[in-house]
Amino acid sequence: MRKDHAIEALQTHLSTDDFLKVIEKMGIGAIITNPHLPDHPIIYVNKQFETITGYKKEEVLFTNCRFLQGEETNQEDIDQIRKAIKNSTSTSVTLKNYKKDGSIFWNHFIISPIFEEKSSKPTYFISLQFDVTHMFDAKESFEQQIKQLTWFDSLTGLMNIKHFRSYIAKDLQSFDRIRETRAVIAIDINRFRFINESYGEKPSNTLLLDFAERLRKFLPPDAAITRHFADLFIVYLKGDNSKKRTLNEFIAQLNDTMIRPFSIKGETIRLSMRYGSSVAPEDGKSAQILIKNAEMAMNEVKNHPHNTHRAFSDEILDRIQQRCQIENGLISALVQNEFELYYQPKVSSKNLAIDGIEALIRWNDPDKGLISPDDFIPIAEENGFINELGKWVLLEACHQNVQWKRAGLGDIPVSVNISAIQFQHPHFIDDVKQVMSETGIEPFNLEFEITETLLNDTKHIESKLHELKELGISISIDDFGTGYSSIYYLKSLPVDILKIDRTFVQDICETSNNKSLLRSMILLGKAMDLKIIAEGVETKEQLDFLFSNQADAVQGYYYSRPLPANEFIEWLKLYKSNSL
């Protein structure tokens, strides 16, 4: 069949129902091909085909449709079309096709055979084109947004922690552990929460963006960075800077860069940071362990306030494991009655009589022996167990006070240390009332020692202090001189006693300045009509100085170390007999 006869035969066949006119007016591309001619050529295209592809009808007639294909056209889709043609069936695919100018368009392509009556083989194939490029552009844009949300931090654009871990894991699989090192640096911005509270979320976020950008500019191009939490950044380093011998110097230079002033709401502020580092392969061979060890080292900086950077070591891991053991053992220790109260006397300057006693908690672990309160109290405060433990101390001290009074030892006021966490608990006052009611202790025999730093939050503690005073309980400021309380607060709050911290007492014999400082603290308390107790008294010289400068009472090893209840009674009886 000649080519011109083939077109004439098609037009004759379709003219009966004006099919060609309908196709021309369609808003979709249309192609008709003849499978009986060599290479299955195009014998008809409509105007929309020309609009979509940029090709004129004269350029494509009697050619195969493959000119629309390119390098990125999916071969499986092409094979699906060829299979449909071979089997004389219909099919549809979405192809990446190319226009005449080389640009890409997404072509939703439907091909179907046309059969003449009583014929088993198709006379023609008609194909419809739908340009769905806009749909795929929207899809790609959406997928890119999803990828951005999935793999990157929404604020800074840095890797999120999931992407960061994946990146490190992949790199660790390929680096030469004999000749190369890798390092992870954890960076925490100190007290960023206060910046957020003072300036608001939006300015604080702008500050974090500036921080991230400065960090990015300082680091080598191949460094990876993530923002793990609001103010915690983690860096992954390759090359020379990741070696332990140069890492300290590198972090020092980084810190010099990051402490330069930032601007927030027109104000200039300086940030301070804590750094922790771990090095592969010696400190860990996986992303998870390296990150965890760097964060543990960073948290250790809190225990070394004069340093900004700590490198991970087995010593840190041992200390953290010990901490975990303490934390896990606290609850069972209370159930197993492993806690005990020790008592230390306070001696009056007027007549050397016992002015009161302080109840001090001790932990007698059956395996580890005596565990210092300095080791377990901070942990109890952090995990909230201090509320339950503090209530136990209060109940035990009040019970003991009542028992001693019934035994004929008279009124010996007992003081109990109250943690800031415990004091701020919403049920604290109710717990105090319950203990007083249960034990029957006289209110004048109970004293609460609170830390000086608690006075900085006067808005939340003033009402509770007044409630305690109404119950008849005395209030003592413990460790006075080590915090930052305002003298105004001491004057305005219902406080009865100032306990001068032992650090001031121990230094009074060294210089005249130390004596002048301690003398001034006593006079200050006296001017506010407060009772003055000095703790940490160990020598006769310290005692004489304090008594001669009007301290009301002293507490310390000079008279007695803290003692278990039974030993304290023996000491008390002996002290009273020697005083007669």
pLDDT in tens, 88-102: 999 999 888 999 998
Q: Is the pLDDT of residue 456 over 70?
A: no
Work out the average pLDDT over 491-509.
Answer: 86
| Alpha-carbon gap, residue 421 to 377, rounded angstroms | 11
Calculate helix-pair angle for 386-404, 314-335, nearest 10 degrees: 50
Q: Is the pLDDT of residue 480 over 50?
A: yes
Q: Is the pLDDT of residue 133 over 70?
A: yes
**Which residues is 182 bridged to in the sheet?**
238, 280
Which pLDDT does position 201 carry in this prediction? 86
Element (H, E) at 128: strand 122-131
Q: Predicted confidence band at 449 (pLDDT cuts at 50, 70, 90)? A: very high
Work out the average pLDDT over 550-568.
Answer: 95
**Which residues is 447 bridged to in the sheet?**
415, 474
Residue 32 CA: distances (Å) to CA of 5, 92, 128: 15, 15, 9
Read off the amino acid at residue 306. Answer: H
**Which residues is 449 bridged to in the sheet?**
417, 476
What is the residue-averaged pLDDT of the chain? 87
Q: What is the pLDDT of residues 3-57, one digit of tens each?
A: 566 656 655 555 545 666 666 666 788 899 999 999 999 999 998 899 999 999 9
Q: Is the pLDDT of residue 487 over 70?
A: no
Which pLDDT does position 567 carry in this prediction? 96
CB distance 519 to 545 below 8 Å: no
| Alpha-carbon gap, residue 170 to 216, rounded angstroms | 21
| Alpha-carbon gap, residue 247 to 390, rounded angstroms | 44
Element (H, E) at 435: helix 428-439
**Sign of the torsion formed by the C-alpha atoms of 434, 439, 443 and 445:** negative
Residue 442 CA: distances (Å) to CA of 198, 305, 446, 474, 560: 45, 43, 7, 12, 25
Q: Is the pLDDT of residue 484 over 60?
A: no
Q: Which residue has the higher pLDDT, 104 or 563?
A: 563
CB distance 503 to 485 below 8 Å: no
Q: What is the largest CA-CA distance in the chain?
A: 140
Phi, psi of 520 (to 5 degrees): -65, -40
Q: Is the pLDDT of residue 306 over 90?
A: no
Q: Is the pLDDT of residue 147 over 60?
A: no
**Which residues is 45 bridged to in the sheet?**
31
Residue 575 CA: distances (Å) to CA of 33, 532, 557, 569: 118, 23, 14, 10
Reference 458, options 497, 493, 417; nearest CA is 493
Which pLDDT does position 136 carry in this prediction? 73
Give the gyration radius of the chain's Cα atoms: 41
CB distance 450 to 479 below 8 Å: no
Query: 177-181, 184-188, 518-522: lowest mean pLDDT where?
Result: 177-181
Which pLDDT does position 16 carry in this prediction? 41
Which pLDDT does position 20 carry in this prediction? 64
Residue 328 neighbours by CB under 8 Å, 6+ apart? none
Q: Predicted confidence band at 163 (pLDDT cuts at 50, 70, 90)? A: confident
Q: Is the pLDDT of residue 266 over 60?
A: yes
Which pLDDT does position 325 carry in this prediction? 87
| Alpha-carbon gap, residue 195 to 197, rounded angstroms | 5
- Reduced to 3 states, what is the DSSP secondary structure of residue 383? helix
Element (H, E) at 112: strand 104-115
Say whether pTM exceeds 0.95. Answer: no
Which pLDDT does position 239 carry in this prediction? 74
CB distance 530 to 499 below 8 Å: no
**Sign of the torsion formed by the C-alpha atoms of 535, 541, 546 and 552:** positive
Which pLDDT does position 439 carry in this prediction? 96
CA angle, residues 267, 272, 274, in degrees to nearest 5: 155
Q: Which residue has the higher pLDDT, 578 or 56?
A: 56
